[in-house]
């Protein structure tokens, strides 16, 4: 077992895990953060995407011990003082989800994407979030949600 500290959503979390414990399992089972979903367990669907020092990664392809000491943001950490982030609000407002299982992954991916590219074109949106699968929506309202999130972010006081 390895005693490691993960900085999850700004809080240092100490956890003792075997070397092969996946970050997704560590978050869900050891830390009780079940907002990160596991859809395929091999890095295809993107439902388990979290931010590692701000960059989107597949938590199902990451061993927890390899990210010791790093900053991890999960869907539970996207809101500020209980207020959903602009990306979260946009997905709710634009009906960018149905069953919602893929949503946390899309939210993390989109959050990082819009930080890099705050005013993306249509093509850039498609490419930016093409690594996440959704089975319910046919993606049309997810595309709208990303554009709406960009608008809401632009309106946010800095």
Partner 1 sequence: MSIATGQVQGVGQSLLRPDGTLKVTGEFAYSSDLWLDGMLWGATLRSPHPSAWIRSIDVGPALAMPGVFAVLTHQDVPGVKFYGLEHKDQPVLAIDQVRYQGEPVALVAADHPETARRAADAIVVGYELREAVTDPRQAAFDPACPQVNPHGNVVRHQPVRVGDRFTADVVVTAEYEVGMQDQAFLGPESGLAVPAEDGGVDLYVATQWLHVDQDQVAPCLGLPKEKVRLTLAGVGGAFGAREDLSMQIHASMLALRTGKPIKIVYGREESFFGHVHRHPAWMRYEHGATADGMLVYVRAEIVLDGGAYTSSSPAVVGNAASLGVGPYEVDNVWIDAYGTYTNNPPCGAMRGFGAVQACFAYESQMDRLAEACGLSPVEIRIRNAVSQGSRLATGQVVDTPAPLAGMLRELAAMPLPGPGSTDLRALPGGVAQTTHGEGVRRGIGYGVGIKNICFSEGFDDYSTARVRVELLGGEPHVLVHTAAAEVGQGLIMVKSQIARTELGIDRVTIVPADTTVGSAGSSSASRQSYVTGGAVKAACEAVRERLDKLRAGGASLAEVLAAGPVEETREYRHRPTFPMDPVTGQGDSHTQLALCVHRAVVDVDVELGLVKVVELAAVQDVGRIMNPLALEGQIHGGTAQGLGLALMEEIQVRDGKVLNPSFTDYLIPTILDMPPMRLSILENPDPHAPYGLRGAGEPPTLSSTPAIAAAVRNATGLALARVPIRPDDIALAGSALAG
Site map 62..101 versus partner 1, x via CB under 8 A: ------------xxx-xx----x---xx-xxxxx-xxxxx
Q: How far is the CB of 143 from partner 1 (least distance, A)?
A: 7
Q: How far is the CB of 98 from partner 1 (least distance, A)?
A: 4
Q: How far is the CB of 25 from partner 1 (least distance, A)?
A: 9
Q: How far is the CB of 91 from partner 1 (least distance, A)?
A: 5
* Residue among 4, 6, 47, 52 that touches partner 1 (CB under 8 A): 47
Q: Per rule CB under 8 A, is residue 45 in the interface with partner 1?
A: yes
**Given the structure tokens 């930016």, which residue do they identify?**
128
Task: Please state, in angstroms and rounded to a whole number, the distance separating the CA atoms of residues 6 and 64.
Answer: 8
| Cβ(12)–Cβ(28) below 8 Å | no
Residues that bind partner 1 (CB under 8 A): 28, 32-42, 44-45, 47, 74-76, 78-79, 84, 88-89, 91-95, 97-104, 107, 123, 126-127, 129-130, 132-143
């Amino acid at each position: 077992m390895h005693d490691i500290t993960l900085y999850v959503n700004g809080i240092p979390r100490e956890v003792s895990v075997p070397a092969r414990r996946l970050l997704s399992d560590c978050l869900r089972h050891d830390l009780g953060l079940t907002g990160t979903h596991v859809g395929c367990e091999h890095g295809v669907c993107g439902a388990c995407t979290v931010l590692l020092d701000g960059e989107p990664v597949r938590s199902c392809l990451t061993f927890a011990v390899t990210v010791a000491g790093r900053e991890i943001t999960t869907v539970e950490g996207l809101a500020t003082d209980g207020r959903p982030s602009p990306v979260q609000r946009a997905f709710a407002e634009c009906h960018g989800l149905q069953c919602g299982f893929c949503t946390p992954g899309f939210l993390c991916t989109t959050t990082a994407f819009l930080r890099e590219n705050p005013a993306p074109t249509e093509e850039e949106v498609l490419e930016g979030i093409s690594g996440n699968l959704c089975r319910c929506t046919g993606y049309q309202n997810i595309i709208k949600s990303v554009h709406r999130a960009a608008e809401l972010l632009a309106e946010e006081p800095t």
